[in-house]
C-alpha cells in the first residue's frame, strides 16, 4: 500500500485522535521543542513543513513569527484539517511529494525546514533521503536550520514487543504491529471501531526505512550542513542541522 493510500483509507481520520490530547496542546509542545532545541534561526521569513500532517509544526512556526509557512503533505484529509486549524496564519498547504517540492524550491530562499513526527522513514529508499538532504542544503539560506524528528527503527524488537498499543477509548482501539526486514519494517496499523453493539476491524500496512541516527547525521554532513547535532526528543530521535 502506498503511504498516501494508507493515510487516506485508514490513518488520516484517526491521526490527531491518536495523540490523546487537544490539538492546541500538540502545537504548544512543538513550539516549546523548537525553542528548547535552539532550532530557530535569526531570520524568520519562509519555512517549509515537510509531511505536515494536520499542522502541529506549521502552526507552531507561524506562531513563532515565520512570515510564510508552506505545509506539504500527500494526504488531502490531513491538509483539510490543517486548513481548519490555521486561522489567520500565513500557511499555504500543498498536496505534493515533499522531496519533489524541495527539488523545485528556489535556492537559498528559506530560513527553516522541518520534517517531523516520523515523516522521513516512509521515503522510498536511503537514496531518496540523501536526495532530500541535498535539496535542503541548497534551498536554505545561510543561517538556516533543518530539523528532523523520526523513529530510529534500527534496533529490532522481537516477539510480543512488536505489538504496540497506540491509542484507545471506549469506541476505538489502534494497535500497531511491526514486521522487521533487514533494511525496512512493515508497519501494520490495526483499527477496531465500535458501531453500536458491534466492533469492526480494519488493517492496513506500509513500509518504513530503518535509519540509524548516526547514518542520518553523517549524510547531513556530507550534504554540506556544517553543524549537525543529535538530540533526544521524547520517543523520537531528533537531528538538528545548520547551514552557516
Choose, by CB under 6 A, the member of 62, 72, 148, 223 that binds ligand SAM.
72
Q: Name the grid cell of 221.
A: 554532513
- What is the contact mask toward ligand SAM in residues 77 to 106, using x (rule: CB under 6 A)? -x------------------xx--------
- Which stretch, 60-68, 117-125, 169-177, 192-200, contacts ligand SAM (CB under 6 A)? 117-125
CB atoms within 10 A of CB 196: 5
CB-nearer residue toward ligand SAM: 110 or 119: 119
CB of 14 to ligand SAM, least distance (A): 12
Choose, by CB under 6 A, the member of 53, 102, 240, 242 that binds ligand SAM.
53
Choose, by CB under 6 A, the member of 40, 59, 60, 74 that binds ligand SAM.
74
Alpha helices in 114-230 (DSSP H): 126-139, 213-222
- Which stretch, 115-123, 153-161, 171-179, 224-232, contacts ligand SAM (CB under 6 A)? 115-123
Alpha helices in the chain (DSSP H): 3-6, 23-37, 56-63, 76-85, 98-103, 126-139, 213-222
For residues 61 and 144, give the distance between their C-alpha atoms in angstroms, rounded to a whole number: 14
Choose, by CB under 6 A, the member of 116, 129, 140, 191 that binds ligand SAM.
116
Task: Please tell me whether residue 57 binds ligand SAM under the rule CB under 6 A.
Answer: yes
For residues 1 and 123, give the distance between their C-alpha atoms in angstroms, rounded to a whole number: 13
For residues 50 and 148, give the distance between their C-alpha atoms in angstroms, rounded to a whole number: 10
For residues 229 and 50, give the distance between their C-alpha atoms in angstroms, rounded to a whole number: 20
Give the end-to-end CA distance of the chain in Å, rounded to a whole number: 40
What is the full DSSP assignment across 9-64? IIIGGGTTGGG-S-HHHHHHHHHHHHHHHT---S--SEEEEET-TTTHHHHHHHHT
Choose, by CB under 6 A, the member of 81, 118, 189, 219 that binds ligand SAM.
118
Task: Please tell me whether residue 225 binds ligand SAM under the rule CB under 6 A.
Answer: no
Task: Please tell me whether residue 241 binds ligand SAM under the rule CB under 6 A.
Answer: no
Q: Name the grid cell of 136.
A: 535542503
For residues 96 and 103, give the distance between their C-alpha atoms in angstroms, rounded to a whole number: 12
Task: Please tell me whether residue 52 binds ligand SAM under the rule CB under 6 A.
Answer: yes
Task: Please tell me whether residue 189 binds ligand SAM under the rule CB under 6 A.
Answer: no
Task: Please tell me whether residue 33 binds ligand SAM under the rule CB under 6 A.
Answer: no
CB-nearer residue toward ligand SAM: 100 or 222: 100
CB-nearer residue toward ligand SAM: 183 or 199: 183
Residues that bind ligand SAM (CB under 6 A): 3, 7, 51-53, 56-57, 72-75, 78, 97-98, 116-119, 122
Amino acid at each position: 500500500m502506498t503511504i498516501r493510500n494508507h493515510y487516506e483509507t485508514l490513518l488520516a481520520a484517526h491521526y490527531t485522535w491518536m495523540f490523546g490530547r487537544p490539538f492546541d496542546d500538540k502545537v504548544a509542545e512543538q513550539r516549546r521543542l523548537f525553542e528548547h532545541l535552539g532550532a530557530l534561526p535569526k531570520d524568520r521569513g519562509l519555512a517549509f513543513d515537510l509531511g505536515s500532517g494536520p499542522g502541529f509544526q506549521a502552526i507552531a512556526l507561524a506562531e513563532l513569527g515565520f512570515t510564510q509557512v508552506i505545509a506539504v503533505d500527500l494526504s488531502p484529509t490531513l491538509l483539510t484539517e490543517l486548513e481548519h486549524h490555521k486561522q489567520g496564519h500565513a500557511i499555504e498547504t500543498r498536496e505534493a511529494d515533499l522531496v519533489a517540492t524541495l527539488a523545485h524550491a528556489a535556492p537559498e530562499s528559506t530560513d527553516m525546514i522541518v520534517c517531523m513526527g516520523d515523516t522521513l522513514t516512509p521515503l522510498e529508499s536511503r537514496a531518496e533521503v540523501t536526495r532530500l538532504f541535498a535539496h535542503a542544503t541548497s534551498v536554505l539560506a545561510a543561517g538556516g536550520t533543518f530539523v528532523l524528528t523520526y523513529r530510529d527503527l534500527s534496533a529490532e524488537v522481537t516477539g510480543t514487543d512488536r505489538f504496540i498499543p497506540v491509542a484507545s477509548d471506549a469506541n476505538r482501539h489502534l494497535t500497531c504491529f511491526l514486521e522487521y526486514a533487514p533494511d525496512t519494517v512493515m508497519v501494520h496499523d490495526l483499527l477496531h471501531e465500535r458501531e453500536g453493539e458491534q466492533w469492526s476491524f480494519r488493517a492496513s500496512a506500509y513500509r518504513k526505512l530503518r535509519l540509524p541516527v548516526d547514518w542520518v547525521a553523517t549524510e547531513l554532513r556530507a550534504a554540506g550542513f556544517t553543524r549537525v547535532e543529535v538530540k533526544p526528543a521524547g520517543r523520537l530521535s531528533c537531528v538538528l542541522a545548520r547551514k552557516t
